[in-house]
Amino acid sequence: MKNWFKKGFARIKPIWQRYQITRWLIVLVLTLFFIISALGTFNAKTTDVSDLKARLRDSTIIYDHENKKAGSIAGQKGTYVGYDQISSNVTNAIIATEDRNFYKEYGFSIKGTLRGALTTVYYRLKGSHASAGGSTITQQLVKNAFLTQDQTISRKIKELFLSVQVEKEYSKNDIITMYMNNAYFGRGAWGVQDAAEKYFGIDAKDLNVEQGAMLAGMLQSPNGYDPISQPEAALNRRNQVLQNLVNNHKLSQSDADAIAKTPIGASDHERIDNSYRYPSYFDAVINEAIGKYHL
């Protein structure tokens, strides 16, 4: 931890000296930070997270002019499946790659947040709009479900407080399940069930180690690690995730080495969505719901 802080401040020090940041400026920045924190706390507390699981899981039923069911629209965009319907191979791979301390931390990582904040400040002082990561799985779920993708301090603070609220309301298994059902895996596949069908023609519960590793690797960049259009990049990324599993004690090194020699094994399977058979009619209903009823 001591070496980590030294490295972080070593990157900030040249910028500090160059711009001759004075004490009053530090006080001003800290004051603004606490004001924004207070606003973020208030806004986060007024957000109800208790219905998050229901919103992601439930479908909206669409009826035709004869009051017959025309189909349904899932809230989370894809097919929702429960924790026990998802192979532990993909769950372990996602945790090992996205958030190794998922079961140990309470919604957010102090170390990751500080590291991200320091690096983001460094980029801003250099005139860059780049930002650092460091978000936990809970934070990623909150960001996708409640917030915008804007890289602002106020949004990040809201994200932290909402993450704590979600952790209070749901179990860890609930959170990882919601995350996997709400994640985008490229090529129109939302959620791990649709992704398993799309790339392997199987259910999420049947994913093996290498398949789970490939899907977990795609979360960082669904297009960049697309196994259909970018097979070499997808293969390298999958093997990286396999090593993550080894480092997280979920896979032996010998098994990882053996699997790394196998091909990517993914292909484009056409999915038939029976719940969305009348796209033009559905779109008209959605547009009216938004325009007329503000839903």
Residue 276 burial (CB count, 10 A): 14
Quickly state the pLDDT bin for 14 (edges 50, 70, 90).
Answer: low
**Mean pLDDT, range 14-32, rounded to an integer:** 53
Residue 251: which of 239, 263, 267 has the closest Cα? 239
The three-state secondary structure class of 202 is coil
Split at pLDDT 50, 70, 90, the class of 28 is low
Q: Give all domains of the chain, ordered by start, each with its CATH number.
A: 1-38+108-182 (no CATH), 184-270 (1.10.3810.10)
* Mean residue pLDDT across the chain: 77
pLDDT at 52: 77
pLDDT class for 253, splitting at 50, 70, 90?
A: very high
pLDDT of residue 132: 47
Q: Give dist(CA 155, CA 294) in Å, integer.
A: 24
pLDDT category, 131, cuts 50, 70, 90?
very low
Dihedral (Cα; 240, 245, 247, 250), 10-degree rounding: -160
54 pLDDT more than 90: no
Q: What is the rounded distance in angstroms from the CA atom of residue 239 to the CA atom of residue 139?
A: 26
Mean pLDDT of 244-269: 96
Tokens 């192979």, residue located: 87
**pLDDT surpassing 70 at residue 240:** yes
CA distance to 77, 173, 270, per residue, from 193 (Å) = 11, 16, 14
Indicate the DSSP class of residue 265.
Answer: -
* 233: helix, strand or coil: helix
Percent of the chain with pLDDT over 70: 61
pTM comes to 0.70
Residue 115 binned pLDDT confidence (cut-offs 50, 70, 90): low
CA distances from 286 to 52, 150, 294 (A): 21, 26, 10
Backbone CA torsion sign across 233, 234, 237, 239: negative
Residue 84 above 80 pLDDT? yes
Amino acid 279: pLDDT: 62
Nearest alpha-carbon partner for 237 in 93, 134, 95, 122: 93
